[in-house]
Amino acid sequence: MDRAFAEAIAAAVERIRNDPGSFPTVHGPVRRLVVRRFPSAIYFREDGDEILLLALHGRQDPQRWQQRI
C-alpha cells in the first residue's frame, strides 16, 4: 500500500473519531467522509459509543457498497 494513501486514511479515521456527526448521512444512518486527495471515501455509522467502519470505497457506483451492508 502506498504510504501517502495509508497516512491519508489514518488521518481520515482520526477525523471520524473526533467528530463523527460532522459528516453527512448518505444511506440511512450511514455517513461518509470523502478522502479528497485520493479517489476514495470511508463509509461508517455510529453504534452507541462505537463507530463502525463499513467500507473504504473508491469513487465508483455507490450502490456496490450498499449491497454489502
Q: How far apart are CA 61 and CA 66, in angstroms?
A: 10
pLDDT for res 39: 86
Does residue 62 have a pLDDT over 90? no
Q: How confident is the model at residue 37 (pLDDT cuts 50, 70, 90)?
A: confident
Q: Which of 67, 1, 8, 22 minimizes the C-alpha distance to 51?
A: 22
pLDDT, average across residues 47-60: 88
pLDDT, average across residues 44-58: 93
Global pTM reads 0.80
